[in-house]
Structure formats: structure tokens, C-alpha cells
Structure 1
Amino acid sequence: MRLLGAVLLALVLTAGSAQAAGDPRWEFYTGDKTRYTSPWFAGGHRIMIPFGCTRAPYYDADPRCKKQRGFHHGIDVAMKCGTPLRAGRRGWVVSSEGLGPAYGSKVLRIRNYTQEWDVVIGHARRVLVEPGDRVRAGQRIARAGADAAPDGCHLHFEKRAMSGGLSTAVHPRRLLGLRPRR
């Protein structure tokens, strides 16, 4: 009877830790284990791939990086599929045409005309707004997914100059308002 109890306890603990681990496809290309909060999403989530030079295998070698590493133009935040995404700032939804297939088929591009930036959000499962919509801070705009993402459910956040291309991307951390979860 004790053996059966120990086996059941072990199964329960194993199932709980697997659930807490999240998407089994997640690959983290950073030593940062901090869980971050943001006005853009609820809960605390880890960064999978940070902005800048990365050892993630999805990017071609970039002259800005050592050891033939690639350059990641945004931040990938791991979160379970279906996690709601809210607009962290106000803006207008603009067309995401021309961004390419790497972001998935459900890409969101929000423009802030006053501050002259765009935020590109990739890998969504579902987008709840469309080009021409005005979004306000706190409004639900999408759900996390894994569309075109080989490493599991997450959202990709990129800050660019208004109407700018990939070469105008800058670190989006301040725009996202990332704070360590307490």
C-alpha cells in the first residue's frame, strides 16, 4: 500500500511539473530565467530569444555579431497558446503586408503616429482587430500562438520606425514595459 501511495504521489508531482513547464517545444536562447510582467500581457513570462545577437539557429550570420551568430530584431516571450494579448499603448492597426512569412499568417502591426513607431507582433493564434481599427491601452487585441514558430507558443514583439523596415528595428523592452515579476 505504501508503494502504491509513493507511485501515485510521484505521478502527481511529475504531472504538475510538466504542466508548469509549459510548451514542450520551448527553446530558451538566454540564461535569463526571470519572469516578466508587461501591460501587454497578464502573468509573468520568460524571454525565449532576446533582442540582438543570438545563438538561436533561425537567423543568418550577421556582421554585428561575433561567432557567426544571427541578429534577432525583437523579443520573443514564451506564453501558453491562447494567452490574451492587450494593447500596452494606444495606436492604430495598420496593414502587415510585406512583413514576410517568418511572423506567421496572423501578424499585427500597431502604429503610434504621435511617437512615430510601429510595433510588430508575430506568431499570434488569433488577431481580434483589423487594419483601420483604433486600439486603446488595455484593449484585447490578440491571442498567443505558434504560427510559423518552430519553438512553441510565444509572441514576437518588434519596435520599428513608423512604416520602417527590419533595418529600423530597435530594442522593444521599454515599449513593452517589461518588469521582473515579484
Structure 2
Amino acid sequence: MSRLRRPVDVAALATLLMGATGLGACAPPDPEPTPTRLELSTPGDTPPAARDLSTVSPTASSSGSAPTSPGMTTPATPATADGTGSPTAATTTTALPAGLDPGNRFYDTDRSLQRSPWFAGAWPVMVPYGCTSAPYYDADARCPASRGFHHGVDVALPCGTVITSGVAGTVVDPATPRRPGPAYGPNALRVRTTDATRDVLVGHARRVLVSPGQRVEPGTPLAEVGDLGAPDGCHLHLEVRAAGGAVDTATDPAPVLRLSASDPVGG
């Protein structure tokens, strides 16, 4: 007796084969690529160094750099010493007179405007004579906390203000020994007093109005205020040295500058 063959369902067989092929193609997916360092950064993320910088006061820095100076008509914040030789913001703000150089920097807490026979009007002192927290000077053994020593007085004045002599004497030839260095600007001049004991030095001038050997009297126009050689704007730097002496002979110029306080700034 012969064996009967079961008919083959072609359609079912085709469906089965297609299913098997599909299953064989479903391999495990490739792992996700590892994000790069850049991809791990979140938008707006601030590097730590930049965050540290954001904590520094805009008016003073721990490195002793000069505080930001206001414009001509905005309030000024003088600097005071904090015991480390760095300037710190004062607790009171004072309005500066109009017309000053926006680049002026102040390291004197005296609120008074000062008058002098050396200039017209009343203006504030930027850097007084002696130990100072101003960062422009090397540490001096006479001063605490690694502060520098300022050998003259700096008075903030509008650029171009005419400086008039407060003493009688003779304009020293720039070729004379002990000529002021480049920090005083190319137009620094000296007036040797009549008794030939002192040289009165005017620094940072933008233009000189006298000639070497010229005799001057109190009130004689000497120069125009500038900022040549200065890092802190237009001002009068007045210094008193021994006749023919170097900077180490400088003495307090107060008796020659003869500052007298006017009304307090903003007072």
C-alpha cells in the first residue's frame, strides 16, 4: 500500500521563510557613541577660572592694580589702604569736578579740593607725598606692607591747564646732569630756586612754555598739564629735590606747592 504525500502549502511555507529571515536580521543594536567632552558641556557653562574672576571687585583687585576711575561727571571712589598695600574702595563716594581726565586714578582719601599758586582753581590730589598704595612704585623699605614711595604730589588737573611757577628761579637746561627719567615724560622741567638750593620738578607736561636758562618769577607760565609718561591721566606732578640731586634727594614738596583746602568735594 503506497504512502500518500501531504500537499505542501506553498503560501504558508513562504510566510515561514520570511519570518525566519526577519528574525535573523534583528541583531542587537550598536552601542550609543560615547559623548565627547564638548558634548558633555552644558550651554552657558562657565569655566572655573572665569567664575573666580567674576568675584573680583571692579574698583580694586588683589594684585594691587589701579581702581577703575569714573568719568568726568560720575562719582569717584577714592582708594584707601587695607594694610596689605592694595587699594580698597572707600566707604563714601565723592563727585569730581567737571573737566578732569577720565583716566585719573585716586589714592588719597582727602575730600578737599586744593588751591595752589601753581594752578588756577581748586582740584583734588590723586597721590600724596610719601608711602602709598598706588601700584606704580616699587616696594620701599620706609613703607609698610610692601608699599611704594611717591616722591612728589600729584594733583588732578584738566589736560592743557597752564602751570604757573610758585617760585623765583631759573629754568634748568635739560642737558644738566640728573635729568628726570622717562617716567616724568619727555617735557619734564626743573626750576632751580634763586638761592640755588633746590630744584622744583614739574612732570608729565604736554608742552613747555619756557626755555632753558630763562628767569622765572612767581606767576610765570611754565607748562601745560599733560599725561606724558603717566599711567593715570593728566595731572601736575610736582617734586622738590636738592639742586642737581637725584630722586633720592626728594623732600616733601608741601612748602613749595602750598596747597590750601577749598570746600570739600560734594560737601
Question: TM-score of the superposition, structure 2-length normalised?
Answer: 0.60
Determine the structure 2 residue equivalent to 1:165. Answer: 246
Deviation of 1:83 (Å): 0.5
Distance 1:101 1:151 in 2: 15
- Structure 2 unmatched ranges of 5 or more: 1-70, 75-96
Q: Following TM superposition, by how much is the alpha carbon of 1:115 offset from its aligned partner in structure 2, in angstroms?
A: 5.7
- Is 1:121 the equivalent of 2:202? yes
Letter in 2 for 1:154: H
**Structure 1 unaligned spans of 5+:** 1-14
Tell me how far 1:22 sits from its aligned partner.
2.0
Q: Give matches, 1:1-182, under 5 Å.
A: 17-18=73-74, 20=98, 22-97=100-175, 98-114=179-195, 116-182=197-263
Q: Which structure would you say has the larger Rg?
A: 2
**1:94-136 Cα deviation digits (max 9, x unpaired):** 0234311000011110001416111011000111012111111
Q: Deviations over 1:142-172 (max 9, x none)?
A: 1100111111000100001111111110000
Q: Give the AA of the match of 2:240.
A: K
Deviation beyond 6 Å, 4+ runs, structure 1: none
Question: What TM-score, normalized to structure 1?
Answer: 0.87
CA distance in 1, matches of 2:195, 2:147: 35
- Name whichever structure is richer in strand by fraction: 1
Shift of residue 16 of structure 1? 8.3
Aligned residues: 168
SS of the residue corresponding to residue 110 of structure 2 reads coil
Q: Which has the higher contact order (CA 8 A, sep 6+)?
A: 1
Tell me, in whole angstroms, the C-alpha distance in 1 between the residues paired with 2:193 and 2:99: 35
SS of residue matched to 1:164: coil
Q: CA RMSD in A?
A: 1.7
